Amino acid sequence: VWSNCLLFIKDNIQPQAYKTWFEPIVAVKLTDNALSIQVPSKFFYEWLEEHYVKILKVSLTKELGEHAKLVYIIKMENTYGNKQPFTEKIPSSNRGALKSQDVDVPLNNKSPELRNPFVIPGIRNVKIESQLNPNYSFENFLEGDSNRLARSAGLAVAAKPGGTSFNPLLIFGGVGLGKTHLAHAIGVDIKDKYPEKTVLYISAEKFTQQYIDSVKKNNRNDFIHFYQIIDVLIIDDVQFLSGKTGTQDVFFHIFNHLHQNGKQVILTSDKAPVDMQDIEQRLLSRFKWGLSAELQHPDFETRVSILKNKLYRDGVEMPDDIIEYVAKNIKTNVRELEGAIISLIAQSSFNKKEITLDLARVIVEKFVKNTKREVSIDYIQKVVSDYFQMDVDTLQSKTRKRHIVQARQLAMFFAKKFTKASLASIGSQIGKRDHATVLHACKTVDNLSSTDKQFRKYVEDITKKLSV
Ligand code: ADP
Ligand code: MG
pLDDT, tens digit (0-9, with 9 covering 90-100), for 354-366:
888 988 998 888 8
Give the number of the ligand closest to the Cα of residue 181: 1
User: Does the C-beta of 60 come closer than 6 Å to ligand 1?
Assistant: no
pLDDT exceeds cutoff 60 at 12: yes
User: Does the C-beta of 415 come closer than 6 Å to ligand 1?
Assistant: no
- pLDDT confidence of residue 54: 82
Which amino acid residue places its CA nearest to atom 4 of ligand 1?
A: 176
pLDDT exceeds cutoff 70 at 449: yes
DSSP conformation class of 38: E
Break the chain down into helix, strand, coil percent, rounded to 5: 55, 10, 35
Domain 377-467 homologous superfamily, CATH: DnaA protein, C-terminal DNA-binding domain (1.10.1750.10)
User: Does the C-beta of 176 come closer than 6 Å to ligand 1?
Assistant: yes
Q: What is the mean pLDDT of the chain?
A: 84
Question: Of the spans 105-109, 115-119, 164-168, which averages the highest pLDDT?
Answer: 164-168
Atom of ligand 1 nearest to the CA of 298: 23
Other beta carbons less than 10 A from residue 399's beta carbon: 13
Distance 11 CA to ligand 1 centre (A): 57
User: Does the C-beta of 147 come closer than 6 Å to ligand 1?
Assistant: yes
- Assign a CATH topology to domain 148-294: Rossmann fold (3.40.50)
Q: For the chain, which residues make up each domain, given as ranges?
A: 2-118, 148-294, 300-371, 377-467
Q: How much is the average pLDDT of 83-112?
A: 36
- pLDDT confidence of residue 370: 64
Atom of ligand 1 nearest to the CA of 144: 23
Best probe residue, ligand 1, of 146, 335, 342 (max atoms within 8 Å of C-beta) = 335
- Window from 159-168, 229-238, 371-380 with minimum mean pLDDT: 371-380
- pLDDT confidence of residue 445: 95
50-78 pLDDT, tens digit per residue, is 778 888 888 888 888 888 888 888 765 44
User: Does the C-beta of 311 come closer than 6 Å to ligand 1?
Assistant: no
User: Does the C-beta of 338 come closer than 6 Å to ligand 1?
Assistant: yes
Distance 325 CA to ligand 1 centre (A): 20
- Assign a CATH topology to domain 2-118: GMP Synthetase; Chain A, domain 3 (3.30.300)
Q: What is the pTM of this model?
A: 0.60
Distance 236 CA to ligand 2 centre (A): 7
- Assign a CATH topology to domain 300-371: Helicase, Ruva Protein; domain 3 (1.10.8)
Strands in 199-203's sheet, in edge-to-edge order, are 199-203, 232-236, 264-269, 169-172, 291-294
pLDDT exceeds cutoff 90 at 107: no
Rounded to 10 degrees, the C-alpha dihedral 115/120/125/130 comes to: 60
Q: How far apart are the first and last CA of the chain?
A: 75
DSSP conformation class of 66: T
